[in-house]
Amino acid sequence: MTIMTKKPYTSENYFEFAMSSHQQLAYRILIAAPTDAPPADGYTVIYVLDGDALFPTLAEAVKLQTRKPKGYDPILVIGIGYPSKEPFDMERRCHDFTLPVSEEHLPPRPDGTPWPPNGKANEFLDFIEYELMPTVEKEWPINKKKQAIVGHSLGGLFTLYALCASPHLFSHVVVGSPSVWWANNAVLKEIDRFAEAWNSQYTIHLLLTIGANELSDMLEGADQAAEQMKRLSGKNIHTTYVKFDEEDHVSVLPSMLGRIPRFLYF
């Protein structure tokens, strides 16, 4: 008779560390480090929001798609999560991922409870640029010209906003099922302001995705955002818009995440 000895499953190149921001907010940083040596110009990096939920799937997709001899160059994956370890920490993501909004412009929450503190997207973006990215760069050789950010739902709202607010930060931006509805579609106004000021000084690749079976307001918001961004196609903003058939707001995640390694190299 075989006696089963159970051990926790871990990957040899996965790590995590705790980090506190200048705003005294705690984060759980998850890392999938490449086992291959870096290219001459350093590792491509992906920063993924909601790391507790999205990091494992993305890290495994990267591992499979960067296998030699035919795989892409090695990629460093950084997940940004929270000490709660909940797949989606609603209080923290509302705080970190959303644009400022007055109380009267907040829709009712589905469960009827008040919205958590919100509207701190700029502070969170500063944390990524001035605290997290320098910390990562001290540990690994990074290709600063090839860095990506990935977000879904409220995270997709944030990554779309980050493109507009700090276009110098990321060469590749992944916007999954974005919550465009937040603050009366405020992010669409941010895109308009960005488009007016944009002078093509950087090349940015945008992957915007959504499940074809998502709610109508989500589909409408994604359609509008994609349409506005595609108007910049002649100005070094290259937008790819993908609707995944038969997928809803959550089931779309593996399809979106599996597309990312290929997106970085086309």
pLDDT in tens, 146-202: 999 999 999 999 999 999 999 999 999 999 999 999 999 999 999 999 999 999 899
Question: What is the structure's pLDDT at 1?
Answer: 61
User: 240: burial class by Cβ within 10 Å (0-12, 13-18, 19+)?
Assistant: middle
3 domain-assigned: no
152 domain-assigned: yes
Spell out the residues 6+ positions from residue 140 whose beta carbon is closer than 8 angstroms to its own: 33, 38, 42, 43, 76
Is the CB of residue 171 less than 8 Å from the CB of residue 205? Answer: yes
Is the CB of residue 182 less than 8 Å from the CB of residue 154? Answer: yes
Question: What is the structure's pLDDT at 109?
Answer: 78
Beta 43-48 vs 142-152: how paired, if at all? parallel
5 domain-assigned: no
Question: What is the structure's pLDDT at 103?
Answer: 79
Q: What is the CATH number of the domain that holds 29?
A: 3.40.50.1820
The total number of structural domains in the chain stands at 1
User: 255: burial class by Cβ within 10 Å (0-12, 13-18, 19+)?
Assistant: middle
Mapping DSSP onto H, E and C, the string for 75-131 reads EEEEEEECCCCCCCCHHHHHHHHCCCCCHHHCCCCCCCCCCCCCCCHHHHHHHHHHH
6 domain-assigned: no
Among residues 22, 97, 17, 10, the alpha carbon closest in space to that of 56 is found at 10
Percent of the chain with pLDDT over 70: 99
Question: What is the structure's pLDDT at 70?
Answer: 80
| Element holding 57 (H helix, E strand) | helix 51-65
What is the residue range of 249's domain?
A: 14-263
For residue 4, the SS3 value is: coil
The answer to whether the predicted template modeling score (pTM) of the entire model surpasses 0.75 is: yes
Question: What is the structure's pLDDT at 18?
Answer: 97
Question: What is the structure's pLDDT at 121?
Answer: 98
Catalytic sites, residue numbers = 153, 214, 249
| Element holding 52 (H helix, E strand) | helix 51-65
Rg (CA), the chain: 18
| Residues in the chain with pLDDT values less than 70 | 1
